[in-house]
Amino acid sequence: IKAVIDATDINEMEHLQPLGDDSRPLPQDDGWSDRTSQNGVDVYLGAFDYDNKIAEPGEKRTYARDANGNPVNHVYLKKDSTIIIAND
């Protein structure tokens, strides 16, 4: 991941995510990084996508987006025990 700190400083860092997850942010995504305490290396912790959040507390939704950031499919585990698998 490359992060622009200011006009002259571009920081490269590792993308940290849970095992079994395979996803990468889009170039226009904003994210969060932090410096590790063990070796002082920056790691990318995750991206923000507030426009596409629909899961309620206790639910889980995994989705893919097109190049413009629009959701194109999802797997949605709802709190009423329903599982929805769909491509929009």
Predicted pLDDT at 35: 72
User: For residue 46, how many other CB atoms are within 10 A of its CB?
Assistant: 14
The tokens describing 32, both together, are 């969060």
| CA gap 55, 73 in Å, rounded | 14
pLDDT tens profile 1-59 = 566 665 566 667 776 677 777 777 787 877 777 777 677 777 777 777 888 889 999 99
Q: What is the b/e burial string over 54-83, where b = at least 16 CB atoms within 10 angstroms of the residue's CB?
A: ebeeeeebebebeeeeebeebebeeeeeee
Going by C-alpha positions, the residue among 54, 51, 62 that lies closest to residue 28 is: 51
pLDDT of residue 56: 93
Given this model, what pLDDT does residue 45 score? 72
Q: Is 31 helix (H, G, I), strand (E, B) or coil?
A: strand
What are the sequence ranges of the domains in the chain? 1-48, 52-88
